Each structure stands twice: as structure tokens, then as C-alpha cells.
Amino acid sequence: MIEVLIPENFTWAKEYCIDNIFKKRYGLDVTIKKHDKKYYLINISEINKNIKLPDIFFKNESKQWLKKRNKFNIAIKEFVLDDGIQIKGFGNKIYSIFHNIEKTIIKFDKEKKTNFLPVDIFGSLFFMFSSYEEYCSDLRDSHLRFSEKQSCLSKAIYSLPIIDIQIELLWIFCMKSFPNLERKVSNGVMRVTCDVDHPYSQRSLFIKSKNIVKFLFNKREYQKKTNTLKKIIIKENLNNFDTDYAGLKYILNKNKEIGNKVIFYSIPQQTYWRYDTNLSWKDKRTRIILNEISKNGNTIGIHPGYNTFNNLNNFEKTLKFAKKYWPIKKNPPTYIISRQHYLRWDAQITPEILNTLNIDEDSSLGFANFPGFRNGTCFPYFLIDLKNEKITDVTEIPLILMESSVFSKNGMNINDPAEAYQFMNELKMKCFNLGGVFTLLWHNSNFTEDFHHEIYENIIK
């Protein structure tokens, strides 16, 4: 059995990191012991080999734990892996945020008893998974969100699952040190989701009327059929001229064709008139849509309104309302999944709220204006409640790609179809190369260009 010796401070946090890597990722049993050294040591008693890693993050933070500050002294470094070491899909280079060596080359020497891996993988994992920087920072955007622009880390870091890559590097060192080790194998997973912010267009009947006119003029045989506008509306259903409803039906049908199940996050009730839909789960029109979603084996999750991410009372009211008006006839599911509206998140309080209300799974953690790896991973993990120094029971499924972060002017503003698809597909392959989860969010209300459909159909395959 693998044994990991850890420095004595922050035991609860270090145990969390080691469990994440060895038990969850590798599928290996591990024994954790404390020692009075200032580094980590990994060994197997029967084998005369060790792997030594520095303890930098926890050591540096020991005298300023959770101290409020807007700037961290982090020197991002790129290492080159020597001796033919390659990370599948990522080559022979890795980024590090915590390290203690000036050299830029990482080597493994099979002749040495102890090999030194100069990257603080355990501290890096905790820093990223806990949103430690966000917790300490007061910087926020207009929606009170911490953004990639306010981070001390670069977009190059957020473009990569740096923690997952470092975990793969550690595994290579483990294999070379302990040759008989075998790990569990994970395959890439496609997770298609949709935030139903607007089940029907709220841009007035004028939009629908324009679409009806387009429909009439495109029907060359319309005069022959002698139908009146009234008959068309009755026959075709007014909803078919609603772009938001049409987007939802499109997502349902296209994913059904290829066998995908989709998770639809819907707002149960309004918490703020400006940003939440006024169509609650009590509304007959909303219930019709959500029942239709459920029929095909798709999943309904709650999309708590704008003013719930930092307000326990508002979130609790929303959850009670959702359970009362759950859109399928059966009882509400025992496994509740959630994603925050506008991806609003407060590292100081949101994990505690989710855990207090027994939310089982969340998928809010992705930057609103920059797709990628906000927490350095594409694998599920348990959220950390830093304030109470507690590991929650809430599983976080990182959000990797939201379509608006690619297309919008506030995001990457990519509107060339080929460039947009290439960027999205590269993110997908980064997840699949590691056997991780590629979580896609595409709003039903955002098929505004013809090429959006083509990209969507290719990316969900």
C-alpha cells in the first residue's frame, strides 16, 4: 500500500488532496501519516524508492490563512519534462503555480532512491479546488462574480486543466518508482446541459409576429391552400414561431437523434425581476415544457434565481417551491442537482449554502466570459467550505464551456464558425484525453446565427 507522509499543519486539507488523487483518480488505497519534515514523501514500504514533493502553498499561507487580499505573489512557471516523459494530449510541458526550484526541467532518475518532483501538486490542488484566491479577494464584476480578469493567474492557466495534468505527471513518477502499480481507467464523458433561462421568448409577441410573416412569405403554396392566418396559428401552434421554444425543441431532438441525455436547468421561481424569468414552475406553460423534457429520460435540475447564490433564505424558499411544484408527477428526486443563474458564486458562502440545503450536485464553476478550467480540472470533486474548514457533501461538476463565453462581446467574441468550432473542440479533446468530463452549456435562447446549429451538432457528438 502507498504511504504518504505529510507535514503536520492543515491535516484536514492535505488529506482531502491526497484522497482526491490516490483514491478517486488512481483508485488506490493510501495510508496518510504526519512527519516533522517540510515536504511530502510518497513510498511503498516493500520498495526502496521514494517520491519527494515540496510543501509550498500551506507553508506560505500558515501565517496568513484566509487573509483578505487582492493580489497573490504567484510566479507561474513552465517546466519541460525530460527523458521522454509525455502527458497524453499535452506533450512534454506543464505549468506550475507553486514550486521551489529555479531549473525548468523535470527529470526522473531511475538510479536514485528518492526522486524530487519540484511541483507542489497537493497545495496547487487545494488552492484551485477551494477557490482560495476568490475567497480572499474583494474584486468582483457587475454581477458580483469573480472573473478571470481579476485573477492573479493567466488565461494560459485557465485554458488548461493544470491540476489534472500535474496528477498525470505524479502518476508517471509513481509508475517509474513502483512498477507494479495499476490504476483505474476513466473514459471521457460528454455532459450536455442547457440553462432554460427563457422557456418562451419574453421579447413580446412582435418577435413571433415577424417569424409568422417570414413563414407566410416562404410558403409559396400558401395561396393555393387558402388558409387564413388564424388557421395557420391554430394548425402550426404559436409556439413554433417562438425562437426560445424552438431552441429548446432543437436541443431535445438533436440529442435524442444521437442518444445523448441532456440536463436542463430551470428557474423554479423569480428572485429578481430584472434577470429571472417570470414564468415559474407553477405556470402551466412551464410545466408543459418540463414534462416534455422528462418524458425522454432527460434530467431536470434547479437553476436558482439571481439572488440565491449568497442568500440562504432565498435559496431555501426556491428549493421548497421547486419541490412543491416539481414538474413531473412523481415525487421530487432524492438527488438534487443545481447550477447558479448567471453563474453567480461566492466562495465564502455558496458552498456552505449548498451543503446546508443538501444539494447533491452543482455545476456552476466556470467563468462567465472565459471558457476553460476555472478550478484546474475537468473531473468531479467535493466542494470545500473554507470558512468552516469543512469538506462538503456537494459534488462539483466543473463547467468547461458555455456558448455565450465564446460568441459574446464580453467574452472571447469569436464569430468565425471555423475558429469557434476549433476552439470548442480543443477544449473537448483536452477533457477526453484525460478521461475527464466535458460539460457543455448551450442556452436554448442562443441559436441566433445559422452556423450555431452546425457547431452544436458537431460538438455534441
φ/ψ bin of 237: left (φ > 0), alpha (ψ from -120 to 50), beta (otherwise): left
The pTM score is 0.92
**Among 251, 247, 218, CA closest to 232:** 218
Pairing of β 361-362 and β 390-396: parallel
**Among 261, 166, 152, 241, CA closest to 200:** 241
3-state SS assignment for residue 206: helix
Check residue 331 and give its pLDDT: 65
Check residue 237 and give its pLDDT: 53
Check residue 239 and give its pLDDT: 61
Regions in the chain scoring below 70 on pLDDT: 202-241, 329-331
What contacts 217, CB < 8 A, 6 or more positions away?
Answer: none
Check residue 206 and give its pLDDT: 44
Tell me the C-alpha distance between 307 and 453, whole Å: 32
> Residue 383: what residue type?
L
For domain 189-201+242-459, give the fold: TIM Barrel (3.20.20)
**Among 261, 284, 274, 346, CA closest to 311:** 346
| Domain locations in the chain as residue ranges | 2-177, 189-201+242-459
